[in-house]
Amino acid sequence: MGEAWFYHLTDSPVEVTLPMLLEKSLERGQRVVVRGRDKARLDWLDERLWLGARDAFLPHGRDGGPHDADQPVLLTCGRERANGAAFLMAVDGAEVGVEDLEQVERACVLFDGNDPEAVEVARGQWRLLTGAGARAFYWAESGGRWQKKAESGG
pLDDT at 27 over 60: yes
Element (H, E) at 37: none
CATH of region 3-152: 3.40.50.10110
Across the chain, mean pLDDT equals 92
SS3 for 64? coil
Q: What angle do CA 22, 29, 40 make, to 5 degrees?
A: 30
The strand pairing partners of 40, in sequence order, are none
Q: pLDDT tens across 87-126, in order?
A: 999 999 999 999 999 999 999 999 999 999 999 999 999 9
- Report residue 153's pLDDT band, with 50, 70 and 90 as the boundaries: confident
Lowest mean pLDDT among 3-12, 26-35, 66-75, 138-147: 138-147
- Calculate the CA dihedral of residues 127, 29, 145, 113 and round it to 10 degrees: -40
Q: Domain locations in the chain?
A: 3-152
Q: For 44-65, write each residue's pLDDT tens digit.
A: 999 888 865 556 678 899 998 8
Q: What is the pLDDT of residue 54?
A: 59
**Three-class SS state of 3:** strand
Are 139 and 5 contacting, i.e. CB atoms less than 8 angstroms apart?
yes
How far apart CA 2 and CA 34 sit, in angstroms, is 16
